[in-house]
Structure 1
């Protein structure tokens, strides 16, 4: 059974619509990320300890303060990732990718294509949601379309939640279809809540007031 617990807490606030994210593999510790930051002469700008209202986050700035690198541990989806904001994003991403073990796009797409259980599909769609950046991508959109039509309720809910990490306006039609046609009332309510939340924020991919998904 799936319960939706609505929260007024801020899960993650993005500084701008333009962003890039890299998902860390399990063998990359937070200490390794900190070491990379010191090696690259980034300085620690802020530290947010985990609470009921905040995710664990370290915010590093480049020396010119034009780029911020956010280390995030997101318990809502069970993923640790780096969020890069500001100037020189591609350059910073290249430096990180050459130093840390991160998920490549093809690896994440393979997660989707090889998923057998609902749990594997949920994990895959969360990863897809994190690597999607501000630019619309047809291949990623088609993955979401398939997830929205999945027979398992938990997969459809995961796809709805993942749209809040992306914020593409193209999701509006998919969410409306769920609101109108999904057989589960709680899924319809979740889609309606997510759509209204994204619309109220002009489709910016932040998770303020986002619903928490609890599967039991």
Structure 2
């Protein structure tokens, strides 16, 4: 199965900017969001016809990102990164590590989760483990949402299991159970 590469856009980049970029790349529009539909998205097919680029305004993470899927996804995502203002994985990690207060931490968790690669990273997992011990239950709940975007990472399950069994807040334990159910559905177990 081909993995999807997500490229998280900076706040100043919107659908219009991505549309101009896609036009310049000679990508063909495959679908657009109808008026009133949510989430807002638009899909293009690259020139070779084997890679799809989806702009998405994610209502859960409150982020805009581009999901690239297909054999050209590494090269297409590099072109996007070099042409539009995007978050790098390092920037997302540093934002979270320097965050003060609930809102910054939650935003940092979402940035990191959406920016993370398809394969596990021990340094990112260590940041996630640290967030699972944050004193604010809302930060820990946001971590569970973010980890849902990393469902293919085997160690995400272990963090969720630990939180399900040990978190001091009943709501966090319940949410961890929901994440584990979702991971089971994803895994087909």
Query: TM-score, normalization: structure 1?
Result: 0.82
Indicate yes or no: 2:49 matched with 1:55.
no
**Cα 1:50–1:103 shift into 2, 3 Å:** farther
Give the 4+ runs in structure 1 shifted more than 6 A: none
Q: Which of the residues 121, 125, 132 maps onto 2:109?
A: 125
| Distance in 1 (alpha carbons) for counterparts of 2:35 and 2:177 | 28
Q: Which of the residues 24, 28, 41 maps onto 2:26?
A: 41
**Cα 1:169–1:119 shift into 2, 3 Å:** same
**Cα 1:145–1:85 shift into 2, 3 Å:** same
Instruction: Answer 1 or 2: higher relative contact order, Cα 8 Å, separation at least 6.
Output: 1
| Residue of structure 1 in register with 2:137 after alignment | 153
| Distance in 2 (alpha carbons) for counterparts of 1:119 and 1:159 | 12
Unaligned runs of 5+ in 2: none
Q: Which has the higher strand share?
A: 1
**Contact 1:49-1:57 at 8 Å conserved across structures:** no
Superposition CA RMSD, Å = 1.5
Unaligned runs of 5+ in 1: 1-15, 204-216
Q: How many residues align?
A: 187
TM alignment of 1:1-216, pairs within 5 A: 18-49=3-34, 54-167=38-151, 168-202=153-187
Query: TM-score, normalization: structure 2?
Result: 0.93
Q: Which has the higher helix share?
A: 2
